[in-house]
Amino acid sequence: MFNRPGNRVNQQLSLLSNRLSEENPALEGVVDSFRALDRLGYSAGLMNPEEESYAFTISWWPMIAVLGTFSAGKSTFINEYIGATVQRSGSQAVDDRFTVISYGASEKVKELPGLALDGDPRFPFYRVSNEIERLSDGAGRTVDHFLAMKTVKSERLRGRILIDSPGFDADEQRATILQLTDHIIDLSDLVLVFFDARHPEPGAMRDTLEHLVNRVAARNDFTKLVFVLNQIDTTWREDNLEEVVSAWQRAVVRQGNATGRFYCLYNTGAAVEIGDEKVRARYEYKAARDREEIHAKIAEISSSRSYRIVGAMQAIAESMEMDAAPALKAALGRWRRWVVRADAAMMVVVLALVLYAAQAMADGFGPLLEAIQAHPVTSGLAVVVLLAVLLGIHFLNRRWAARRIARSLPDETASGNWRAAFLKNTVFWRSILRKSPAGLGRSALRQLHALRDQVEAYVQRLNNQFMDERAVPKSADAGTQPTRVPEPDAAGERREEAAPATGQETRG
């Protein structure tokens, strides 16, 4: 009864498995391995079977966050990438919530409230309502004020999640939005930060740059940041795109980013008319190549996330064997020594008191003692009372020592709650002489070894999947023949590039 998940956990894992079968079949069987890992965690007391699973501690879908200011082209880029009008776009601030966009079975865009994210552990905002309530200082704002979810049937969303931000200009709820932005940056695999080339002076965005770059610098994870300078077509008259990009690069470097690489984009359907043929060819080439590189980055994180999920399962299994089991065994040894010493000390005191009382009674109540000794039942009752007192003292010592030692153990680790697992080993019906932690004996260790061996099989399956995909000359994220970007020659005319050799990886 202690190693079975509750109905709610079982239901969520089934939903996860069903969704993986649609979006990433290579990972579908991994859910069953996490179930086996859960059973070991429940048996050891490391996890709560009613509401916890190791599968809930990781994000199963790669996350791409699209951040920036209002009217920087975030929604336009998302619509263009997905191939459907999912987000409203325009010159006005139209979205004031974070929108999580994922794959759905319906051809039409379906919009769901933020509660759909808050109550589903498959998504990265599971139980985020508690954090929102804390950040909004009891202002009455719920999760629906800050989060929304949309689903659409797009192959480019299969196996990944996009997050469109409301922009950093939202004055009324700016503090909460920035805090949620930090949360999103921490969870995301790729962060696209959009800036508007129509406002070439980066000084006005210094606070945004400082917040974003410093947040990532603290985690030493600059590789996930991709800066995008959008609407570069507006700079064509001055023909100073390099100068505009350099100004933004210097602003980013001043905030601590070592690279400051900017990609340049614009929407050809809504672009201003570029009157100079050579400038137009150069701008089109630059935007097309940068857009292709961004799409390739998005495609690459899907494979890396799949390997990370399998690696997480291996890391949890290793942590249970290499970290949790030895730590709990050591804690139980300390607990055992404390209890034995406390029992010995208390028994000496009790026996001394008994002997003192017996001597006193012998001196003044000799006939009474003779009468007690003449009745075996009375003598036996006295012995039972004495043993009950000693046993009660023993369990008091067990409880006192367990609480003291439990305070030194962490309640959040990769393998679960060590404190709860330790306390499970100190319950009154468990013998103090048992040295192996509950649920982590030889049989459990053999199961952990078997689960770690399964990781190799999953890695081979992923290798086969991605190697097979790369062997076919198709786009990684759209499933179509990739378009080659024409490169302008010195005269500004377009020149077709040679097609890649068969078997080489192409850009997505």
Rounded to whole angstroms, the Cα distance separating 210 from 205 reads 9
* pLDDT value at 405 more than 90: yes
- Partner residues linked to 149 by β-bridges: 100, 112
Q: What would the mean pLDDT of 283-308 be, rounded to a whole number?
A: 85
Identity of the amino acid at 126: Y
Q: Are 42 and 78 in contact (CB under 8 A)?
A: no
Q: Choose among 49, 92, 88, 47: nearest CA to 69.
A: 92
pLDDT in tens, 11-31: 888 888 887 777 777 777 889
Q: ∠ at Cα 500 (495, 506), nearest 5°?
A: 110
- Buried residues in 168-205 as b, exposed as e (16+ CB within 10 A): bebeebeebbbbbbebbbeebbbbbbbbbbeebebeeb
Sheet with 225-230, side-by-side order of all strands:
110-113, 147-152, 98-103, 161-164, 63-68, 190-196, 225-230, 262-264
**Among 342, 337, 330, which Cα is nearest to 395's?**
342
pLDDT at residue 155, rounded to an integer: 87
CA dist 326 and 323 (Å) reads 6
- Return d(Cα 90, Cα 179) in angstroms, integer: 26
Query: What pLDDT is recorded for position 33?
Result: 92
**Quick one: pLDDT at residue 487?**
52
Structure tokens at 219: 């985690």
Distance CA 264, CA 287 (A): 6
Query: Using one digit for the tens of pLDDT, what is the confidence trace for 61-117?
Result: 888 999 877 677 888 889 889 988 888 766 554 567 788 898 888 888 888 887 777
